[in-house]
Chains A and B, each alone.
Chain A
Amino acid sequence: MLEIKGLEVIYQGVIQGLSDLSLKVPQGSIVALLGANGAGKTTTLKAISNFLPLEDGRVTKGTITLEGDNILKLAPHEIVRRGVFHVREGRYVFSDMTVEENLIAATFAKKGSQSRQAAFDEVYTYFPILSQRRRQMAGYLSGGEQQMLAIGRALVADPRVILLDEPSLGLAPLIVNEIFEIIARINREKKVSILLVEQNAMIALKYASYGYVLESGHSVLEGTTQDLAANKDIQKFYLGRVDEFEQA
């Protein structure tokens, strides 16, 4: 289980990114972080993977534990090797490297005994299109394929938790559904937990089992996704139901 308790993050010594945030990602679950732009969703993920120092931010209070071990002070590459893989918003594939070389790069995060080829074959089973494109430069892939590659790299690492930031960003609805179906399959079959940040609240609530709503850096509402989906405020602010009613 990945657990955050009382987390406070400060950027540049003065700007508050998170305040007193607590959340839990039980092993094997999909947990969604919802909230408007600037609410602190991505900051939460960066605090976990320890990318904050690269943006002049730091954790000033609280703890982050993985299976009870404090991972707060570990370097980013060590956190990955512990089994927490961050798929960043915007995908960030290595565009002038081939698909397969992108996967090779992710083998540095691998801890398990599974062979490299077996790990790649698994990626290609989940994303057959990547297999056809394995010798192509990743920069020439479509947006959806790049997102698949970004998730594929996480699969190679065989992590316990995937931090998944805005996988639907800039993708056509059909592709988004396809990718989320595969994410759900990976979660089910590999028992890997997923902490999902997603602007598209509709799809986040559909695939996650539990959710937290962030506002100004702390959690204002949490609950099972069923309860959240039924909540009037959620419907109004995140699902845009009001407009539908007005139009009807």
Chain B
Amino acid sequence: MSPLQLFIEYSVVGIAAGGVYALIALGIIVIFKASHTFNFAMGEMMMLSAYFFYAASVTFALGPWLGLGVALLSSVVVGLIIERVAIRPMLGRPFIAVVMVTFGIGAIIRGIVGLVWGPNELQIPAILARTPVMLGDIFVPGRTARAFAIAVVIVVGLILYLRYSRAGVALRAAAADAVTAYSMGIDVRRIVAFSWVIAAITGCISGVLMASVNTLTPHLGVVAMNVLAVIILGGLNSIGGVLVAGLIIGWLEAVTGMFLPTSFREITPYILTLIVLLIRPNGLFGARQVERI
């Protein structure tokens, strides 16, 4: 195989992994927009959802599809409980205080998952076919390709939904100016709850996808930290930017892994982010404030 072919193959696999990054990032950004809170528990929400999927489909033997439905439903319920119990009382508090609460929630989820399921790797039922996908001469592992397709469809669907639906308008209105949003009759607290539902759904799907491509361990959520780079690169305010940024970060990780030792793989997203921020402080797609002088 020629080096060029190898490079292309790495790139495709990397971009494919980036689709899931975009999905995770979207969950974080929607919450950020609705309540100016950074949800550091996103990784743990993903991981918990994957365990819900395992419990429903394997332990309770509901099969993969019903299991996925149960996992989605339980993830949404957990998301709403977190919002109601831990986030809503913190609204209006300093940013850092709310962020620390989300850190705490992450730690609690990790602890509970460790107690219930233990630290060992678990194998979730195969929902993604393993048959590789060939793009011309390029070989893409079957599960990676399918995870990418699912992630991108959901990301694009959600982006369009938030762009054109009435709920999307309400979310952006609440994000821009909560007081004015209230004066339009928008119940801002419900919008915040709605953002946690969206995050729970993207978290559940990305968690299950990650667990099917790799395996299920309590460390599954660590990947959400790489997604931080995606969000900063795309611009915190840009829902549409996450897709491109997710793909860029996925690609970059894979390509660095090809040329450099693996330890570099983990820092490249941050190096790229640093460079981008020096040139474009709002990220690649971050909104420049519209202001008329």
- A contact residues around B287 at 8 Å (CB): 96
A19 within 8 Å of B by Cβ? no
Q: Smallest CB–CB gap between A116 and chain B, Å?
A: 9
Chain A: interface secondary structure?
helix
B179 within 8 Å of A by Cβ? yes
- B contact residues around A107 at 8 Å (CB): 166
Q: Smallest CB–CB gap between B178 and chain A, Å?
A: 9
A62 within 8 Å of B by Cβ? no
Measuring CB to CB, which residues of chain B are less than 8 angstroms from any residue of chain A? 166, 169-170, 172-173, 176-177, 179-188, 287, 289-292
Known contacts A77-B186, A105-B186; A140/B292 CB under 8 A:
yes
- B contact residues around A88 at 8 Å (CB): 179-180, 183
A80 within 8 Å of B by Cβ? yes
A104 within 8 Å of B by Cβ? yes
Contact digits for A98-125, partner B, Cβ 8 Å, 1 yes 0 no = 0001001111111000000000000000
Q: Tell me the nearest residue of chain B to A80, going by C-beta.
A: B185
Q: How far is the CA of A94 from the CA of B169 in the complex (A)?
A: 10
- B contact residues around A49 at 8 Å (CB): 183
Q: How far is the CA of A141 from the CA of B177 in the complex (A)?
A: 18
Known contacts A97-B176, A105-B169; A153/B184 CB under 8 A:
yes
Q: How far is the CA of A213 from the CA of B172 in the complex (A)?
A: 39
With an 8 Å Cβ cutoff, the count of chain A residues facing the other chain is 31
Known contacts A94-B177, A95-B290; A109/B169 CB under 8 A:
no
- B contact residues around A51 at 8 Å (CB): 179, 182-183
* Contact (Cβ within 8 A) A85 B183: yes
Contacting B185 at CB < 8 Å: which of A77, A96, A140?
A: A77
A54 within 8 Å of B by Cβ? yes
Query: Could you show 17 A-B contacts with beta carbons less than 8 Å apart?
Result: A49-B183, A51-B179, A76-B182, A80-B182, A80-B183, A80-B185, A94-B180, A96-B176, A97-B173, A105-B181, A108-B166, A108-B184, A108-B185, A110-B185, A137-B290, A139-B289, A139-B291
